[in-house]
Amino acid sequence: MVLYHGTNRIIREIDLNKGRLRTDFGKGFYLGSNLGIARQWAKSRAAFSGTPVVMRYTLDIAVFSDETANPCRFDSPTVAWLDFVRDNRRRGDKGAKTPEPRHDFGIVCGAIANDKVNFVVDDYINGLITAEDAVQKVRAIPSALQVSIHTPAAMAFLETNSAEYQTLPDTGKWSRWRRLYTYSG
């Protein structure tokens, strides 16, 4: 399965400890199946610093049936998906630091919801709408998945040795795909 990661720099080595907190599936390394969405994400990240970069990886789909990778998959936005997202986005108990990710899965895969998901989940977290109402308001982007990797066991299924990247230089046109060469020393 080909997946993309939008960022503001070329990633030569993935560090699972650098993921953002309070994200849909918890702190981890996120990838998506839609190149256009990855490019948008790269542009938004680079607005703060760096250059828009999209990394392209291949994920062995055997990860979704491997017990050591401990996979979790949501095929569409459901109440279970919404509760999972809510639990990962919450700030934690008063004064307590809740470790992330807030689950034991090595890899999580699910639909990418539309731009309204942030507002819908916030309304749900704040008790302004029911779970059923929230699921009705969230519409998945057709043929788009997001995948988050949380453990080395799941990371082993991501082919990092054959990764490629493209950049968006000042010319405004995405470069051709280039092979990522990693250094070992």
Report yes or no on whether pTM surpasses 0.85. Answer: yes
Nearest CA among 8, 36, 12, 31 for reference residue 164 = 12
Cα–Cα distance, 79 to 31 (Å, whole number):
23
Nearest CA among 180, 137, 132, 177 for reference residue 38 = 177
User: What pLDDT is stored for residue 134 in this prediction?
Assistant: 87
Nearest CA among 105, 68, 111, 61 for reference residue 87 = 105
| Mean pLDDT confidence for 4-31 | 92
| Mean pLDDT confidence for 164-170 | 93
Model confidence at 71: pLDDT above 80: yes
Q: What percent of the chain has pLDDT over 70?
A: 89
Tokens of 35: 């190149």
Q: pLDDT by residue (tens digit) across 99-130?
A: 777 899 999 999 776 666 778 878 888 899 99
Tokens of 170: 């000042």
Model confidence at 181: pLDDT above 60: yes
Model confidence at 94: pLDDT above 80: no
7: which residues sit within 8 A by CB, 6+ positions away?
Answer: 41, 42, 45, 50, 53, 54, 55
57-69 burial by CB neighbour count: b if 16+ within 10 A, else e?
Answer: bbbeeebbebeeb
Q: What mean pLDDT is reported for the chain?
A: 87
Model confidence at 88: pLDDT above 60: yes
* Amino acid letter, 6: G
SS3 category, 152? helix
62: which residues sit within 8 A by CB, 6+ positions away?
Answer: 157
Q: pLDDT by residue (tens digit) across 139-164?
A: 666 678 999 999 999 999 999 988 99
